[in-house]
Structure 1
Amino acid sequence: MNGRLLYPFVLGAGALQAFGVVMNAQLRGALVNPWLAAAVSFLPIVFVFLTMLAIRPTPLPRTEDLAKMPWWAPLGGLAGAVAVFGGLLFVDKVGAGPFNGLLITANLLTSLALDHFGWLGMPRHRAGRARLVGAVLMVAGIVLIAVF
């Protein structure tokens, strides 16, 4: 399947993420304790994925699949949780635009390095001039959003 056909889904997920950090900040305000708010925020996610697993239990990994898995692979959710927790604590203090702009720009710059160096098993995609210019424009854009 052509990866570009997935772009509308990715754009929708990014838009939802902007709403999500604001919703989580409101949740933290109502529940007061950020750890409780984070737990409550993740409960629907756990429910949805456990329900989907019950509905579509296959395929399941084989022993060989698990043996080949890098030790750090299960930590992806924890990495995402840091962004969620950051939103719980900071989005109402810095604003949705700067928070998401910084988050997305850091994500993009890190992603360019992951692609360029092939870190974490990613296929290598050279960070050529056009990609680097795009990164500079992203950084310039977030500076404008954060400052003004």
Structure 2
Amino acid sequence: MAASLLYPFVLLAGALQALGNSMNAQLRVALTNPWLAALVSFLLIVFVFVAMAAVRPQPFPEKASVAAMPWWAPLGGIAGAVAVFMGLLFVDEIGAGPFNGLLITANLLASLAIDHFGWLGMKPKRLGPMRAGGAALMVAGIVLIARS
């Protein structure tokens, strides 16, 4: 399957992430305690994934594949949780546009470095002039969004 066929789903996920940040901010306001709001948010996520595992079961991994897994592989969820928690705390303070712009721009810059150096098991993809130019446009865009 061509990767470009997956782009609409990724765009949907990005739009949902922007909605989720604002929803989580309102959850924090309603529950007062940001840690409790994060717990409620993540308990719902766990429920959805448990339900999906029951509806669409997949085989369990073999011992060898778990043993070969890099030590840092399970930490991806914590990395994502930091972004969710930052949204809980800050999106209503700085606005959805600047918050998500900063989040996505930082994500893009880090992703370009990951691709360029082949970090975290990714296939290296050189940071050429077009990719660097796109990153510069993202940085310029967030500067304009955050200042207005």
Q: TM-score under structure 2 normalisation?
A: 0.98
Amino acid at match of 1:108: L
* Separation in 2, partners of 1:19, 1:57: 29
> Deviation per CA, 1:5-64, whole angstroms, max 9, x where unpaired?
110000000001111000000000000000000000111110111111122222210011
Q: Which residue of 2 aligns with 1:55?
A: 55
- Which structure 1 residue ranges, 4+ long, deviate > 4 Å from structure 2? none
TM-score computed with the length of structure 1 as normaliser: 0.98
Where do residues 1-148 of structure 1 align in structure 2 (5 Å cutoff)? 1-148=1-148
- Could you list the runs of 5+ residues in structure 2 that have no partner in the other structure? none
Q: Distance in 1 between matches of 2:60 and 2:125?
A: 31
- RMSD of Structure 2 on Structure 1 (CA): 0.7
Rounded Cα–Cα distance in structure 2 between residues aligned with 1:56 and 1:16 = 23
The count of residues paired between Structure 1 and Structure 2 equals 148
- 1:64-116 Cα offsets, whole Å, 9 max, x none, are 11011001111111100000000000001100000000000000000000000
* Unaligned 5+ runs, structure 1: none
Q: What is the letter of the counterpart of residue 88 of structure 1?
A: L
